[in-house]
Structure 1
Amino acid sequence: MSSLFDSFWRAAAYCLIPRVIFLSLLPLLLIAVLAGVCGYFFWHPAVAATQQMLGDASWLGSLWGWLSGMGWDNASDTLAPLLLVLAAIPLIVLIALLLVAVFMTPALVNLVSQRRFPALARKKGGSVAASVIWSALSTGAALLALVISSPLWLVPPLILVLPPLIWGWLTYRVMSFDALAEHASKEERKELFARHRYSLLGIGVVCGFLGAAPSLVWASAVVFAAAFLVLIPVAIWIYTLVFAFSSLWFIHYCLAALERLRDERNESAFQPPASPPAPTVGEAAVALELPLPAQGSRG
């Protein structure tokens, strides 16, 4: 338990470092570019398709009639863009998580290792390709869980529980792997996963609930439509910063656990010093106080 709190406060303190804040803005810029490109090519067809789907739904006919009687004509035209934005939120969150895992986490691992574990041996048990595949498979499983559980979100208590649990599981899977990929061997990573599975899952669940906090910003964007374009980037940046904090929490916890594991095994946790280069003939002669071989004359 002490390791959980220690790594928590260290991660919170690292989030105040300007380098971490700058790194948290990079995925936001990439997401903004991606959203702009997709919006330019697909926004209007998607809105038209959503409007047609809402208009063709017979079970919504009474709702449209009631809204029309209240003076809200063409309600489907107004709701279609809002529904598209709400449907894109999980996809935006997943893209932010992948970008954090691919771009930010290696930089954060180097930052933590240089500041707190400068001599911890790097056994490189996970490659970049393995990290991408692991993240993609975990994300696919999380998407499947979202789709399967989405009907249960209509039950008020479950919408507050299921999404954070899914995000927590995904965060646990992705962040734990990337936190240990550089320093731990494959065998050490499996051992740490087995020993600390519940603690790591607990960190992931807490981070999943923290990831639900930006939903307040989304709700504010719905209420204050005039600030919609401003609040959405703020919410995405908060998501990214939460993911950065999650990554730092996992990095501090996992690297400390790795150091303790190697201490238990009486294994040196430090980088072995580089072997000195072989001495030249001249250096050997000076060390033994022998005469140097004569240099041949030119010409």
Structure 2
Amino acid sequence: MKPREFWPFVLPSVLVMSALMVFPLLFTVYLSFHNFTLGESPRFVGWLNYARTLADERFWSALGFTLLYTVCVIPAQILLGSVLALLLNEVLHLKRLLISGYLLPFIVTPVVGTLVVGWMFRDRGFNSYLLSLLGIHIQWFSDPMAAKALIILYGIWSTVPFALIVLYAALQAMPSEPLEAAIVDGATWLQRVWYVVVPFLRPVLLFIAMIGTMDAFRLFDSVAVMTKGGPGTATETVMYYTYGVSFVELLLGRGSSIVVLSVLIILVILAPLLYRTYRDIVGSR
């Protein structure tokens, strides 16, 4: 299809999506330079909201845990998703049943999933009981490190199915000729995976990493349901901290400054991935 024939079909959607994304972002930037509370007119304060946010230890604590969550969850998501997708690609029987089982965490509503996990890890929960039989007693919701580990483990459990289904779809679209040539050359299964499959999946892996990074910075539901940011502020994420500032303290101007800073941090993190993706696209032409 020629570009002249292509744009009339996509232009309305592009305009609507741009309006839905660009206007809220610009309004957020506008609010970040104002002192604004509900029921009052915005009052321009310049960079004061940013200065107060950057001077707040809670912001740095929330950012630190968000980055820790990102560093732990995304590699585990990609690794486990890749292994499961490769194994699923080799299975000949019961494939539909296995796919249904793997996708269960992806289907469950996040709030329901976090409620169930929270109950299981309470002091008298099922998982805590099993660990106590082994002589292991962990205070999941009063020990900061244990609470962080629980949020991270739930994040891995809930995000692996997304990586699995995307990677499995990519494997189904992979041409068989390179693998057949590698088999003829005597390559082992691990060599075929590392030298043939992984290079083919690299754009997909970068895509999963980018989506995972953005999801990590909007992590809210599991924290709100399981730990409420506690103990103390140990498990506060950037999004949960933003919620507290904006809708508990009703400081919408400061909350907007946190959102703008979060977007800038995400762009800094994603810049190398976007550049690598751009190079792959240009190199494939």
Tell me the TM-score normalized by structure 2: 0.32
Structure 1-normalised TM-score? 0.30
Q: Which has the higher contact order (CA 8 A, sep 6+)?
A: 2
Instruction: Flag the structure with larger Rg.
Output: 1
